[in-house]
Amino acid sequence: MTDGSAEANLLHQISRRAGSMSPALRGVADVILADPEAAQSLSITELASRAGVADSTVSRFLRDLNLDGYNQLRLGIAQAIYSRPVSAAAPSGWVYEGILKDDDQSTVVEKVLHGSIEALSRTAERIDPETLGEVVERIHRASSLYFTAMGSSATVAESAVLRFTRAGKSCMFFRDQSAQSIAAATLGSDDIIFAISDSGDSTPVLATVEIARFHGAHVVALTSTLDSQLAERADTVLLTSGAVASSDVYGESVTAKWGQLLVIDVLYANYATRYFDEAEGYLLESYQSSIRPTRSGAQ
């Protein structure tokens, strides 16, 4: 089970196949589908007990799904949870994005890895080549690129500024939310504002976007939620992966940032290749003047 797409989602597989399973195996499937978050924390004996079957029946259930072992079932459930749309609250017992308080170190590593791979894969699936091309053209024509973001999305904005500045574009980003709103008033119809928000409902980002729109800037949204307030206000939407449910206590999704970084890198790579003759000089100069002197042993 290596494909993390929606079609290969383990919960989807179990749901599709449950109807053709024997009553005993279907009982195991029902327990998992009724509460996947709780099921992934159960031992094989606990799962068997809730389904009213023997441990050996759960083992047959694993073989029926071509799983190598019980741990792969738990990881598959966690990966499927990562692919679901963001929810308002995290289930009881969650510490962070599908990770449970009793998970051991190797399980945490596997879950974070699966979540990161899922975020990248799902974002790649959501990138529309035509929309991407249109944004690249706008970047080329734009007088400046402006970025608004908050929380950990600010790291994505800073990465974008570094990349596009090296390619010769004038870029601007402030960590301070008030400065973002103030600077948005300096934008015009020749400028692009990239608004980065996984939920699409970040109030400071929306406020900055409204100011930029008023002054005529083209709004490009990087968000996972097409029906969000940000997507509604944007001129162009670049969809990222949806994030697993997280709670206010433990913070926003970090795996979602992989999708945002992927979109920025794809935009940059497309821009640098399409306008290579223009970007090459800036890339070489920035390397010679700013990067190479920082490398130990560089001549």
Instruction: Let me know if residue 100 belongs to a domain.
Output: no
**Domain ends where: 28, 59, 82?**
82
Lowest mean pLDDT among 90-104, 197-211, 232-246: 90-104
Q: What tens digit of pLDDT does each residue of 95-110 get?
A: 666 677 777 888 888 7
Q: How many domains does the chain have?
A: 2
DSSP letter (8 states) at residue 287: I
CATH number for position 24: 1.10.10.10
**Domain ends where: 25, 56, 82?**
82
Instruction: Let me know if residue 116 belongs to a domain.
Output: no
194: domain range?
125-293
Instruction: Let me know if residue 58 belongs to a domain.
Output: yes
User: Does 146 share its domain with 54?
Assistant: no
In 3D space, the residue among 19, 251, 241 whose CA is nearest the CA of residue 121 turns out to be: 241
**Domain ends where: 82, 113, 139?**
82
**Distance, CA of 92 to CA of 100 (rounded, Å):** 9
CATH number for position 177: 3.40.50.10490
The stretches of the chain forming alpha helices (DSSP H) are 10-18, 23-34, 36-39, 44-51, 55-64, 70-82, 105-126, 129-141, 153-166, 177-184, 203-214, 229-233, 255-274, 276-286
Instruction: Let me know if residue 108 belongs to a domain.
Output: no
**pTM to 2 decimal places:** 0.68
In 3D space, the residue among 188, 150, 143, 187 whose CA is nearest the CA of residue 168 turns out to be: 143
User: Does 2 share its domain with 137?
Assistant: no
Non-local CB neighbours of 56 within 8 Å, separated by 6+ positions? none
User: Does 26 share its domain with 150?
Assistant: no
Q: What tens digit of pLDDT does each residue of 156-200 get?
A: 999 999 999 999 999 999 999 999 999 999 999 999 999 999 889
End-to-end Cα, the chain, rounded Å: 49
